[in-house]
Amino acid sequence: MSAKRCRRGEIELYRSPVTEDCEHLLSLFQKTDSVRFEVFSKIWKEMNFSHIFLGTVKHEKRSFSRLILDSAYGFLLPPFSFQIRVGGLYLLYSLFQSQTAAPPEPIRLALKDWEHVKKFEKDAMDAQHMDVIYILRQLRLQRAFHFSATPTRLVFRKLRKKESPALCENFIERASRPQELINIDLLEELTNVHDLYGTLKSSVSETSENSSVNLIRDDLIPQLRSTVMDFHKWQSRQGAADE
């Protein structure tokens, strides 16, 4: 076995501890209930997290930087909550700036994940989280992203099968599909359609012999909204009980 392959195998041994360190930092950020970079930066400095790059010899700097960035990359994507994804973005930015490899190792961004990042940026813009927008644009200006077919490099031979790390359950966003599907815009559109249908029904009833046929539920839109709100309240109570 070549020395290069041995070193690659030794570097991989650090993946699990690095992921644990990232999760610990993000768990502290999660407790602040904030998405400000200033708050994240304070935790980063208190943990001396930039020291994670110290101790690597010259020929290991690039491969170790790649491993650390790959480990942090997953926190930028679903199914993690918005706050954890913000923390993941700040983590990638801080790691990119702190690495000792020269020129700096880029952040591999798989093309399949680009839509997730664009939607994440749009959500941040809609909520006016300007720290997130600024950090994303800084990474682009610095050409920190390397767009690739896969998030990690593919090799012809592997020392062993790579195990997928278990996702931290506390970071995963609770299911919110009903709230996402039944939003204000949809309710307004349904109301307009409902009113139009009511007008057409009234015109039919005036000319139809059987005008007693009930073609409309007047409480359809309010009941739909009420059902979604009841689900959201139940979900919130369940979350509070789990904590």
Phi/psi of residue 224, each to 5°? -65, -45
Q: What is the pLDDT of residue 87?
A: 97
pLDDT in tens, the chain (243 residues): 333 443 555 778 888 999 999 999 999 999 999 999 999 999 999 999 999 998 777 778 899 999 999 999 999 998 899 999 999 999 999 999 999 998 999 999 998 899 999 999 999 999 999 999 999 999 999 999 999 877 666 555 554 445 555 667 777 766 555 555 566 666 677 777 777 777 776 776 655 555 544 556 667 777 777 776 776 666 666 555 555
Q: What is the pLDDT of residue 90?
A: 98
Q: What is the pLDDT of residue 4?
A: 45
Residue 214 sits in the same domain as residue 155: no
Q: What is the pLDDT of residue 204?
A: 66
Cβ atoms of residues 107 and 200 within 8 Å: no
Q: What is the pLDDT of residue 73?
A: 94
Residue 69 sits in the same domain as residue 138: yes
Q: What is the pLDDT of residue 196?
A: 78
Residue 187 sits in the same domain as residue 71: no
Residue 165 sits in the same domain as residue 186: no
Q: DSSP secondary structure string, 74-141? A: GGGSTTB-HHHHHHHHHHHHHHHHH---SSPPPEEEEGGGHHHHHHHHHHHHHTT-HHHHHHHHHHHH
Give how many domains the chain has, as a whole number. Answer: 2
Residue 109 sits in the same domain as residue 195: no
Residue 128 sits in the same domain as residue 28: yes
Q: What is the pLDDT of residue 148?
A: 86
Domain end residue (candidates: 150, 173, 196): 173
Residue 10 sits in the same domain as residue 102: yes
Residue 51 sits in the same domain as residue 151: yes
170: left (phi over 0), alpha (psi -120 to 50) or beta: alpha
Alpha helices in 127-219 (DSSP H): 130-141, 177-181, 184-207
Listed in sequence order, the residues at least 6 apart from 226 whose beta carbon sits closer than 8 Å to its beta carbon are none
Q: How far apart are CA 87 and CA 76, in angstroms?
A: 8
If you ran DSSP here, which 8-state letter would residue 50 be given? Answer: G
Q: What is the pLDDT of residue 7?
A: 54
Q: How far apart are CA 163 and CA 196, in angstroms?
A: 56
Domain end residue (candidates: 130, 151, 173): 173
Domain end residue (candidates: 173, 201, 224): 173
Listed in sequence order, the residues at least 6 apart from 73 whose beta carbon sits closer than 8 Å to its beta carbon are 88, 92, 107, 108, 109, 151
CA distances from 191 to 85, 207, 220 (A): 35, 25, 9
Structural domain for 44, as ranges: 3-173
By C-alpha distance, which of 58, 64, 59 is closest to 4? 59
Q: How far apart are CA 101 and CA 91, in angstroms?
A: 17
Q: What is the pLDDT of residue 17?
A: 92
Q: What is the pLDDT of residue 51?
A: 93
